[in-house]
Amino acid sequence: MSTDPQIHRAREVLLNAQSVSVLTGAGISAESGIPTFRDAGGIWENFDPEQVATPEAFARDPGFVWKWYADRMQQFRSSSPNRGHQSLAALEDRISEFRLVTQNIDNLHQLAGSRRITELHGNIWRTRCLGCGRKATLSEVPSDLPPKCSECGNMLRPDVVWFGEALETENIQQAEAACHAEVFIVAGTSGEVWPAAGFVHQARSHGAFVIEVNTQRTVLSDVTNMSLMGPCGEVLPQIIR
């Protein structure tokens, strides 16, 4: 667990910061009951990413991939933001220059009230039409899979970024701008996925004070100024008074 002096130091740093950016991963949603990818019992223990999170997998069997997402949507519907998400929303209200960059697609940051969000990997409740390219937001879990476009009748895909797919340029630009903040918090991510993990390295190289919040050490821990060991739902409320 992180020590009080570390918590106190992190709180001081945040109190004096004019600009703060945050990068979050699946770990911040763990206390909302959503399994992470690479922890024990994680998603990749039961599913091979190549079978469900690549454009090839979708081309091969869109119904199977949509079933995987529909099941996750059901789970997300019964999950609500935890104190970790809520603390970041409160921090945003206090800091004039704030950006939340998330790898998560579960929409919990939005539900917690965060506004200046960059969704690096998209959002599970948004679809994109393979025919006309139209984006739409689903209000409920689709029943007949794969869903069809109400405009042109073509197949819809989840508006998420799969392995091997490029992130949207605008999101990369927003994330790169976020790396110029005085303080960069990286919370609940294993740092395994690129280019998301690379933004932590960029922030450090720009001279940011990098604070990690995680239940265990990660490949990013050596890139940080401070690594606070503990769950997001406990540590973030302590450092964001």
User: Residue 26: which of Zn ion, ligand BV8, none does it interact with, CB under 5 to 8 A by kind?
Assistant: ligand BV8
**Residue number, 127 or 189, with CB nearest to ligand BV8:** 189
Count the neighbouring beta carbons within 10 Å of the beta carbon of residue 163: 13
Residue 11 or 19 with smaller CB distance to ligand BV8? 11
CA distance 118 to 100: 6
For residues 236 and 87, the answer to whether their CB atoms sit within 8 Å is yes
Give least dist CB 209 to Zn ion, A.
46
Strands 19-24 and 209-214 come out as unpaired
- By beta-carbon proximity to ligand BV8, the closer residue of 137 and 163 is 163
Among 63, 131, 164, 195, binds Zn ion (CB under 5 A): 131
DSSP SS3 for 93: helix
Min. distance of Cβ 127 from ligand BV8 in angstroms? 13
Instruction: Identify what 232 binds: ligand BV8, Zn ion, none; CB under 5 to 8 Å per kind.
Output: ligand BV8
Neighbours of 191 (CB within 10 A): 20
Residue 206 interacts, among Zn ion, ligand BV8, none and using kind-specific CB cut-offs from 5 to 8 Å, with: none
Query: N- to C-terminal Cα distance for the chain?
Result: 19
Residue 109 among the catalytic residues: no
Cβ atoms of residues 109 and 24 within 8 Å? yes
Q: Rounded to the nearest 10 degrees, how much is the dihedral formed by the CA atoms of 196, 198, 201, 203?
A: -50
The option from ligand BV8, Zn ion, none interacting with 161 (CB < 5 to 8 A, set by class) reads ligand BV8
Amino acid at 158: P
**What does the alpha-carbon distance between residue 103 and residue 25 come to, in Å, rounded to a whole number?**
5
Residues 56, 59, 62, 64: what is their CA dihedral angle, to the nearest 10 degrees? Answer: -40
Binding partner selected for residue 239 from Zn ion, ligand BV8, none, CB under the kind-specific 5 to 8 Å limit: none
Question: Shortest gap between Cβ of 129 and ligand BV8 (angstroms)?
Answer: 18
Q: Which stretch binds Zn ion (CB under 5 A): 82-90, 112-120, 138-146, 152-160?
A: 152-160
Look up residue 148 and give its DSSP letter.
B
Q: How many CB atoms lie within 10 A of CB 78?
A: 9
Q: Which of 8, 121, 180, 201 is catalytic?
A: 121
Binding site for ligand BV8 (CB under 6 A): 25-27, 30-31, 36-39, 42, 53, 103-105, 121, 160-166, 188-190, 192-195, 213-216, 218, 231-232
- Examine residue 156 and tell whether it contacts Zn ion (CB under 5 A): no
Contact residues toward Zn ion (CB under 5 A) are 129, 131-132, 134, 149, 151-152, 154
